[in-house]
Amino acid sequence: MGDLENGIELHDHLQKLHCSVKNYDWGLPGRVSQVARLFSLNSGSEFDPEEPYAELWMGTLDSGPSFVLSNGAKRATLKAWISENPDVLGDKVLQKWGADLPFLFKVLSVGKALSIQAHPDKELARTLHKLLPDMYKDGNHKPEMALAMTDFEALCGFITFKELKAVLRTVPEVVELVGVANANLVLQTSDWDGEEEVKPVLQAVFTHLMSAGKEMVTVAVNRLKSRLHKEIEVRPLTDKEQLVLRLEKQYPADIGVIAAFFLNYVKLNPGEALVLGANEPHAYLSGECVECMATSDNVVRAGLTPKHRDVQTLCSMLTYKQGFPEILRGVRLNPYVSRYTPPFEEFEIDRCVLPQGERVVFPAVPGPSIFLITVGEGMMNTGSSPIGHAVTEGDVLFAAANTEVSITSAFELHLYRTGVNSKVFQLS
């Protein structure tokens, strides 16, 4: 690469980005949304205090592009800039994924539940994209990881068979929708049966539930609601029961309200992360997180949403794996940085809390990184360059492969870095 291309000095391998925002109706209103605050700081634009701000996208997906800045002005999309300067990705990433970022980085501000959804594996993604390109816009899989910035709630994966039996004994509205025969099928299946014997039973029951007619669902949800409102007077409701009443307020007469009884209710503390593989059912419920995923926008939805539902595809694609999901708490790399490593090649996330006046070094890695500053300010240097970049909250920076980045904080500084999973480079 030459030193100068299109007015940008490419020996300086740090590029400031302007990022895209999504105002989905489940987002938090601007006045309390991290996404709104960070987007406003990142773009220099005002936000509407009452409008929902749901997602800040940092990456190369066409439906929410990031732009490279030159002298404060948008110059090109990050995707176009990378395709002009592919060596910023490093040889291994270029060989493996071509001239594009393999990951998409986001901030989410969740005000109300997102749809019950799953993301297809690569094979299914290719099939869906071929059959329904308007709905499934690419042929890639979309494993993801959510790292909580605040207290964060989600539904994720199926509860155990033992827990499901308890649901069928205590929640008559579920039995009403799945039918007595299906309920008995679950109750008569031994807990000692292996996962392969149990899966078809769970699939049959869940598919029956999700396929229930609108009128039946409305009656069952209303019955559930009035029963719980009566029972609250004589006993404290369980966490799951309180949750379904909340979901019913957000999405009245929705099958997702009842489906919540089938899924694990996960509560994350700040700094804890949830990993979501392909074909696993999940729904984010509330809170704010940074999220990373493979570069894709494929979602199959089946409940808690005004958007298109593809119940048949969802129910046929799920793994029906049971049990509580693994929570990652990060591995300390140094006093200030913890790394979260999912079992996916495309990405990892580093979380850094840097006290005032301290310095931390992110060693050069053979792939690209994106840095997001969420709190504080400081100076960022690359390699041995004496020229520093002042960075402050809302800044998003792209770092080319093989670039050492050091940061010194003027005030306590919080940042997140995402890059290709380090294991990809260790295998080479």
Beta carbons within 10 angstroms of residue 131's beta carbon: 10
Cα–Cα dist 42/69, whole Å: 11
Mean pLDDT of 312-327: 92
Tokens of 12: 């300086």
Task: Tell me what percent of the residues of the chain surpass a pLDDT of 70.
Answer: 95
Nearest-10 Cα torsion for 215, 221, 225, 227: 90
Cα–Cα dist 209/174, whole Å: 8
Question: What's the pLDDT score for residue 278?
Answer: 87
Cα–Cα dist 109/374, whole Å: 13
Under the banding of pLDDT at 50, 70 and 90, the label for residue 126 is confident
CA 305 from centre of chain: 17
* pLDDT per position as a tens digit, 192-212: 667 778 899 999 999 999 999
Cβ contacts of residue 165 below 8 Å, gap of 6+?
Answer: 186, 187, 191
Q: Which of 21-35, 262-276, 359-373, 381-395 has the lowest mean pLDDT?
A: 381-395
Tokens of 304: 């808690």
Cα–Cα dist 104/109, whole Å: 16
Q: Which residues are catalytic?
A: 301
Nearest-10 Cα torsion for 254, 280, 175, 160: -140
E strand segments, 314-427: 327-328, 331-332, 337-340, 348-354, 359-362, 369-375, 377-382, 389-392, 396-399, 405-409, 413-419
pTM comes to: 0.93
Give the side-chain half-sphere CA count within 13 A for 388. 13
Under the banding of pLDDT at 50, 70 and 90, the label for residue 2 is very low
The answer to whether residues 295 and 100 touch, using CB atoms and an 8 Å cutoff, is yes
CA 422 from centre of chain: 20
Is 163 in a helix, a strand, or coil?
A: helix
CB contact burial 377-395 (16+ within 10 A = b; e otherwise):
ebebbbeeeeeebebebbb
Let me know if the fold of 155-328 is the same as that of 344-426.
no
The answer to whether residues 415 and 335 touch, using CB atoms and an 8 Å cutoff, is no
Is 19 in a helix, a strand, or coil?
A: coil
Question: What's the pLDDT score for residue 427?
Answer: 63
The answer to whether residues 50 and 30 touch, using CB atoms and an 8 Å cutoff, is yes
Fold of 155-328: Phosphomannose Isomerase; domain 2 (1.10.441)
* pLDDT per position as a tens digit, 229-257: 999 999 999 999 999 999 999 999 999 99
Task: Tell me what percent of the residues of the chain surpass a pLDDT of 90.
Answer: 79
* pLDDT per position as a tens digit, 378-401: 999 998 777 888 999 999 999 999
Fold of 344-426: Jelly Rolls (2.60.120)
Q: Which of 79-83, 295-299, 305-309 has the highest mean pLDDT?
A: 79-83
Residue ranges per domain, the chain? Answer: 155-328, 344-426
The yes-or-no verdict on residue 10 having pLDDT over 70 is no
Question: What's the pLDDT score for residue 297?
Answer: 74
Give the side-chain half-sphere CA count within 13 A for 148. 21
The answer to whether residues 160 and 198 touch, using CB atoms and an 8 Å cutoff, is no
